[in-house]
Amino acid sequence: MSVLNTILISANIISTLTNNVLNLSYLGAQKLYSSIHNLGDVSMEKYKNELDILDLEVKLKYLEHIIIKYENCAEPNYLFICNKLRQISFEIKAVVGIINTKIEEHQMKYLRNWRSINLDKEFGTLNKLVKILDERLKLIH
């Protein structure tokens, strides 16, 4: 097998893995939106507003489109930026997963309507990551 074939096969594997992770990030964001918006908890109101401001669903869908568009580009700068976009999508996926888990655990608690959930730390991290994502998306244009 030639080196070129090996590189092409590796690129296809990485592309498939990346697309799967981006899709999972997007699905996680969708689950987060529905979980937060369906909770009748008054303490969730600020998180609903923050989530609406972040516009995470749209950004992750756009990120998926950008990575697919530029992943086969031979330009080293675009490859570097695509790798950094992948990295930030992994980090966002992890934080969204933590938030979803905490919400699910909160919903299973006894007298959950009388309790409030604190997601300030997670939303602080998510805000930071989305700002980094925004700046990296500016670089691609």
Asked if the model's pLDDT at residue 91 lies above 70, the reply is yes
Residue ranges of alpha helices (H) inside the chain are 3-38, 45-54, 56-70, 76-108, 120-140
Q: List pLDDT tens digits, range 19-62.
A: 454 555 656 666 666 666 565 555 667 777 888 888 888 888 88
Residue 58, domain extent: 3-140
CB 93 within 8 A of CB 29: no
- Residue 84's SS3 state is helix
Note the pTM of the prediction, 2 decimals. Answer: 0.68
Q: What pLDDT score was predicted for residue 4? A: 44
Q: Which residues contact 139 (CB under 8 A, 6 or more apart)?
A: 81
Q: How many domains, in total, are found in the chain?
A: 1
